Structure formats: structure tokens, C-alpha cells
Structure 1
């Protein structure tokens, strides 16, 4: 059994819907050998990363940067994971009121330092909230989990 960790900041009903869509996609009934663990950034830590086979990160865009909660998660996890999780498959999504550029750049810088492997292009849900954001998140969760299940990542 492989473990997919989802660490996503969800401070509003809309962002909770995105995190739920990621989880629902990852729990698609056709995916048989993947355990899905979902945690808020302030509840997750290095032990969760060390125990997973892939990770999906989610954040809001806050003042052109990732949420403070996700930054705190990285601050607590970076050094304990640095030498132990190189090559960890990951994907991420951003709920961006603007363009998400600064948030994306920050996540990419930290994960590059960790030497994690991006397995799916970043999903940036920009502008006014639209129902298709949840569909896109469902697809992201399903794709990462199915890839893990099939041994592709």
C-alpha cells in the first residue's frame, strides 16, 4: 500500500471544497492500493512527509505568497526532510485571487531545495471562484493517486 499525503490550507468554504475535491479524486474507487492522508498544514509535519510516497500541497495566495500555515509547515519540515526525501513525487495547487506567480515561485524554490520531483504542472485557480476549479482539483488528486497506484511515480 502506498501513501499519498495531502497538505492543504483551507480557510474558507471554497478552499475547503478544493481540498475535498483533491481528496475525492485521490480516493476514486478505481485506485486500489493508495492510502490517502489529509492534513491541514499546522497539523502536518516532517513525520508525515517521511511516511508518504507522494504529496499534494494546496494553498491560498496571500499577499502574493503562500499561506502562512503552509510556510510554517515547510519551516518545520525542511531540514528534517532535506536529506531523506529527495525525489519525493509532488504536485500542488494554488487558489489565487490574482495571478499566483509569487506563490508558485516560492513553492518551487522550496521544493527545488528539497529536491522533490514535480509530477504534474501546478494548478493555479485564478480570479473569481468558479465551479470548474473543483473539477480541476478532482482531476489532480485522481491523476497523482492513479500514477502512484500504477507505479509511475
Structure 2
């Protein structure tokens, strides 16, 4: 168990094309309050990962995988932070057209390499978009799913503040 921190930093890294992941990340950030640092995947720097106490990775599943820009963020940051963030907590928020398991597995493999600890079960929001028009259309995330994202952000921030992880 780590020491409690009055001012923890929960880095919420997100990518979105249709608005679903952005809404989910924003809900998590609202839940985390002052602890949240909400940063798009394209703007995330290794230094941000090093400075954070915990992470929420939020992206869509595209073609059974995490989105390309989220993968690119991991590609840029992987080696610069390797060996320096072990034991930190993480959670995932995935906007999916079907099961979201592919994106979850990919992020979990990277988190395993970094030796992060999953502290919340994956949150996969299935928006059931299966035809091209639905897949590329702007998305509205159901309120109950946004509430779940909010609660994950709040729980992670509180767990960091209390030194639970």
C-alpha cells in the first residue's frame, strides 16, 4: 500500500472519433474532480505518465483492436517509462460496437509489461454499431454508462487519495 496523497494525479488518456470515448473520459474526469488530468492520446507525453499516480485509458474499439491513436500513444511512451511506473493502478473505459474485448486485451498486455495493477474491472460500453453508417455516426452514450464512468473516476481518485493503491 502506498502513502496517502492529498493531491493525487489521475491521468485520463483518451481518444475518440465519434464522441463516445470523449464523453466517457469526461465523465470519469468529472468523477475524479481535482485529481483528474484529462489528456488526449495524441497530446500525452511520457513525462505525464511518469508524474501521474494512476491511469484511466479510454478509447474506442476499432476493428477488434484499440484505436490507432491510442496504440500510437503507447508506442511513443512504452520504453521511456518502462521500469519506472510499476505497481500504479489503472482502469479501462472502452466504447465498442460489439464486445470490446480486443481493445481491453491489448491495453492489458501493455499494462502487464509496465507492471501496472488493474484496480477496476473493464468498463465496456456496447453501442451496437454494426453497419458503416452507424459505426461512423456521432454517438450518444447512455446516462447509466456515463454514471459508471463517473463512478470509476471517483473511486480511482479516492483510492489514490487514501493510499489504497
Question: Taking structure 2 as the reference length, what is the TM-score of the superposition?
Answer: 0.84
Supply the distance in 1 between the matched residues of 2:124 and 2:107 (Cα, whole angstroms).
Answer: 12
2:32 paired with 1:26: yes
Larger Rg: 2
2:151 paired with 1:145: no
CA shift digits 1:39-70 (9 cap, x unpaired): 00000021100001111110101000001111
2:115 paired with 1:103: no
CA shift digits 1:20-52 (9 cap, x unpaired): 11111111xxxxxx5321100000021100001
Aligned residue in 2 for 1:17: 23
Kindly report structure 1 stretches of 4+ aligned residues shifted beyond 3 Å.
none
Aligned residue in 1 for 2:66: 66
Supply the distance in 2 between the matched residues of 1:99 and 1:14 (Cα, whole angstroms).
Answer: 15
Supply the distance in 1 between the matched residues of 2:8 and 2:142 (Cα, whole angstroms).
Answer: 32
| Structure 2 gap segments, 5+ residues each | 1-6, 129-140
2:11 paired with 1:5: yes
Shift of 1:17: 1.7
Secondary structure at the aligned position of 1:113 is classed as helix
Secondary structure at the aligned position of 2:9 is classed as strand
Aligned residue in 2 for 1:126: 126
Secondary structure at the aligned position of 1:85 is classed as coil
Shift of 1:82: 0.9
Shift of 1:12: 2.5
Q: Which has the higher helix share?
A: 2
Supply the distance in 2 between the matched residues of 1:148 and 1:45 (Cα, whole angstroms).
Answer: 21
Asked whether the equivalents of residues 96 and 124 of structure 1 are also in contact (C-alpha less than 8 Å), the reply is: yes
| Structure 1 gap segments, 5+ residues each | 28-33
